[in-house]
Amino acid sequence: MSTYSTNLALELIGTGQQAGAWGNTTNNNIGTLIEQAISGYASQTITDGADTVLLMTNGGSCTARNMYIVMTGTLSAARNLILPTNNKLYFVSNGTSGGYAVTVKCSGQTGVSIPAGAAATLVCNGTDIAIATNYMPSLSLGTALPVTSGGTGVTTSTGSGANVLGTSPTLTGTPVAPTATVGTNTTQIATTAFVTSAVQAAYPVGSIYMNASNSTNPATLLGFGTWTATGQGRMLLGTDNSTYTAGTTGGSATTTISSGNLPAHDHSITDPGHFHTNVVSPNPDVNNFTGPGDRGNLAGQTTTAVTGITKTNTTQGNGSLFSNTAMTTISPYLVVYMWVRTA
């Protein structure tokens, strides 16, 4: 009784079988089945709306045995081509119309998706369909590889570097790039790690951060460091590395004036000129009046006016003027939220 080979399903004649007829079987094996397996070229219509399933026929011609399979048909969605699990090499081309990919796979497996218009070298490993090659030691192209396929779109570079794209690609997902050292000033792409390092370098421990409207801690805004609110009610003063040392505080918003902190001084007073009306009575005994109301009742009184007198008086001070009086000493200011980086 004949049996069949595992992968190509060739008929294997049993001992003493097919006497006088085994030539037909041999010719079918060699002239049909083996030729299909190593050089066969077949067209297969892909069903739109269901999987297209190919089987390996024992001892008979079948599409699944062919080396090169061209998929045809019009599709309204992505479809599947199911191949048998026989170990075999395939060249598969997606010649369908509609613009949809066809996934070539074994039943229940993942397989390989072939885009419309693309061709691929595939292999069945006994479980599923996989890409047959993933390494090329060298490659020479007759024409420029287009940008959509990962190439430059040009035959020679139009700028510095080996690969210069004709147009800027739109990146999706989470693309990565080499991170430059802090201080790099070139057209190299800046990664988030580079930006964070650059900002950290600009705000080392001890730095002051100020904001006139946002009270959010810089650790949240900048994404790094430990920041502590500082300088409440104080203005900043540059250090002179002597009297005023960085990090120290001092001063006061108000000062109380006393004899101890206000030196003795003089005030000059200038009289611009004025006059006094003097009431004079002929009787010396009635000059002892006590108020202007009494003057009007005196008989025989006269008045004289003294005018045009200018006098400069000097009063010696003793430093006690306005003693113990609080005075504001704040300069014009802008109020801000302020933090210092401590770690």
Q: How much is the CA Rg of the chain, to the nearest whole Å?
A: 53
CA 253 to chain centre: 43
Q: Are residues 180 and 214 in the same domain?
A: no
Beta strands at 274-280 and 227-229: parallel, antiparallel or unpaired: unpaired
In a domain, 20, yes or no: yes
Tokens of 231: 């300088």
Q: Are residues 57 and 24 in the same domain?
A: yes
Q: Are residues 51 and 69 in the same domain?
A: yes
The last residue of a domain, from among 131, 166, 193: 131
Mean pLDDT of the region 244-266? 73
Per-residue three-class SS string for the chain: CCEECCCCCCEECCCCCCCCCHHHHHHHHHHHHHHHHHHCEEEEECCCCCCEECCCCCCCCCHHHCCEEEEECECCCCEEEEECCCCEEEEEEECCECCCCEEEEECCCCCEEECCCCEEEEEECCCCEEECCCCCCCCCCCCCCCHHHCCCCCCCCCCCCCCCCCCCCCCCCCCCCCCCCCCCCCCCCCCHHHHHHHHHHHCCCCCEEEECCCCCCHHHHHCCCCEEECCCCCCCCCCCCCCCCCCCCCCCCEEEECCCCCCCCEEEEECCCEEEEEEECCCHHHCCCCCHHHHCCCCCCEEEEEEEECCEEEEECCCCCCCCEEEECCCCCCCCEEEEECC
Q: Are residues 197 and 74 in the same domain?
A: no
In a domain, 310, yes or no: no
Q: Which domain holds residue 192?
A: 176-205
Q: Is the pLDDT of residue 124 over 90?
A: yes
The pLDDT of residue 112 is 97
Q: Is the pLDDT of residue 172 over 60?
A: yes
Q: Which residue from 342, 339, 343 is spatially nearest to 231, judged by alpha carbons?
A: 339
Q: Are residues 71 and 193 in the same domain?
A: no
In a domain, 152, yes or no: no
Q: Is the pLDDT of residue 192 over 70?
A: yes
Q: Are residues 108 and 199 in the same domain?
A: no
The pLDDT of residue 329 is 75
The pLDDT of residue 1 is 81
In a 13 Å sphere around the CA of 302, the CA atoms on its Cβ side amount to 4
Q: Are residues 109 and 238 in the same domain?
A: no
Q: Is the pLDDT of residue 110 over 90?
A: yes
- Count other C-beta atoms under 10 Å from residue 318's C-beta: 10
Best-predicted range by mean pLDDT among 151-155, 166-170, 314-318, 333-337? 333-337
Residue-level length of the chain: 343
255 pLDDT tier (thresholds 50, 70, 90): confident
Mean pLDDT of the region 66-94? 97
Beta strands at 337-341 and 227-229: parallel, antiparallel or unpaired: antiparallel
CA angle 52, 57, 61 (to 5 degrees): 95
Q: Is the pLDDT of residue 80 over 90?
A: yes
Q: Are residues 39 and 64 in the same domain?
A: yes
Phi, psi of 266 (to 5 degrees): -105, 155
Q: Say which range, 148-162, 182-196, 269-283, 284-298, has the weakest mean pLDDT.
A: 284-298
In the chain, pLDDT over 90 holds for what percent of residues?
48
In a domain, 242, yes or no: yes
Q: Are residues 92 and 194 in the same domain?
A: no
In a domain, 276, yes or no: no
Q: Is the pLDDT of residue 289 over 50?
A: no
Q: Are residues 186 and 104 in the same domain?
A: no
Q: Is the pLDDT of residue 306 over 80?
A: no
In a domain, 288, yes or no: no
In the chain, pLDDT over 70 holds for what percent of residues?
74
The pLDDT of residue 254 is 79
Q: Say which range, 34-43, 123-132, 133-142, has the weakest mean pLDDT.
A: 133-142
In a domain, 280, yes or no: no
The pLDDT of residue 193 is 92
128 pLDDT tier (thresholds 50, 70, 90): very high
Interval 310-343: pLDDT, tens = 454 444 444 445 556 677 778 888 999 999 999 9
266 pLDDT tier (thresholds 50, 70, 90): low
Q: Are residues 120 and 184 in the same domain?
A: no
Q: Are residues 244 and 333 in the same domain?
A: yes
Q: What is the pTM of this model?
A: 0.46
In a domain, 53, yes or no: yes
The last residue of a domain, from among 78, 101, 131: 131
Number of domains in the chain: 3
Q: Distance between terminal CA atoms of the chain?
A: 85
**Are the CB atoms for 67 and 42 separated by under 8 Å?**
no
Beta strands at 52-53 and 302-309: parallel, antiparallel or unpaired: unpaired
The pLDDT of residue 271 is 58
**Are the CB atoms for 319 and 263 separated by under 8 Å?**
yes
Q: Is the pLDDT of residue 107 over 60?
A: yes
